Amino acid sequence: MIPSPEQCYELMAHYRMLDNIKAHSIMVARVARLLAGNLAGTELDMDLVIAGALLHDIAKTQCLYSNRSHALEGEEIVLRHGFDELAEIVAEHVVLGRTTPGIIVEKQIVYYADKRINHDQVVSLEERLAYILDRYGRDNPTRHEMIMINFVKCQALEKEIFSYLSFAPADVKRLLENDGELYG
């Protein structure tokens, strides 16, 4: 089962998602919708993309001051609520797992959209990398290296996604400014 946007907002409230994390998730959903809606030749489930984007950080508030993985905690939450289709998307929004070259799936769209939003603003991958390195990689060479490996994968994914689109990564912010809000 895939939750409606209204159900996603109810879960956000139930898990006391902080307003800034909610704003981030809404922007991730807007970018994901823009990308998925314009990908030619793919059969993406738009409801799955939007729900995955809205709930990708469902456990972030709970995990802010712990060493627990908000991606894995989030996976457990969506499974507990019977949203099995979202589990892989939520679990892999930080570090993308296995993919098939030439095939774009929902988890890749949400993963990439998340990397384009810093707080609630559209940024380039390079700007987001700088933030992630400062916030999560500081003083930890192993984590810094893992972030860089993930970043290279994200750059490759960006290239692949935009090979199917009629606009460039730099156009995302402008296109969203002309787009309506996502479910208010």
Q: pLDDT of 65-78, one tens digit each?
A: 888 888 889 899 99
Classify residue 183: in a domain, yes or no.
no
Predicted TM-score of the model (pTM) = 0.92
Lowest average pLDDT, out of 19-33, 78-92, 139-153, goes to: 139-153
Residue 145: how many other CB atoms lie within 10 Å? 11
Classify residue 152: in a domain, yes or no.
yes
Could you read off the pLDDT of 12-38 as tens digits, one per residue?
999 999 999 999 999 999 999 999 999
pLDDT band for position 181 (cuts 50, 70, 90): low
Predicted local confidence at residue 97, as pLDDT: 87
Average pLDDT over residues 94-113: 91
Residue 99: how many other CB atoms lie within 10 Å? 17
What phi and psi values does residue 83 have, to the nearest 5 degrees? -100, 60
Classify residue 184: in a domain, yes or no.
no
Classify residue 55: in a domain, yes or no.
yes
Classify residue 72: in a domain, yes or no.
yes
* pLDDT at residue 176 tops 60: yes
Classify residue 43: in a domain, yes or no.
yes
Provide the CA 179 distance to its chain's centre, in angstroms. 19
- Return d(Cα 170, Cα 37) in angstroms, integer: 17
Domain, as residue range, for 88:
5-177
Average pLDDT over residues 73-85: 95
CB 184 within 8 A of CB 9: no
Classify residue 76: in a domain, yes or no.
yes
* pLDDT at residue 167 tops 50: yes
Domain count, the chain: 1
Predicted local confidence at residue 180, as pLDDT: 58
Classify residue 34: in a domain, yes or no.
yes
User: What is the CATH classification number for the domain harbouring 15?
Assistant: 1.10.3210
Give the closest residue to 8 by CA, choosing from 129, 89, 69, 125. Answer: 89
* pLDDT at residue 98 tops 90: no
CB 2 within 8 A of CB 85: yes
Predicted local confidence at residue 182, as pLDDT: 55
Residue 104, classified by CB atoms within 10 Å of its CB into exposed (0-12), middle (13-18) or buried (19+), is buried
Predicted local confidence at residue 132, as pLDDT: 85
Residue 135: how many other CB atoms lie within 10 Å? 10
Average pLDDT over residues 143-155: 89
Predicted local confidence at residue 183, as pLDDT: 47
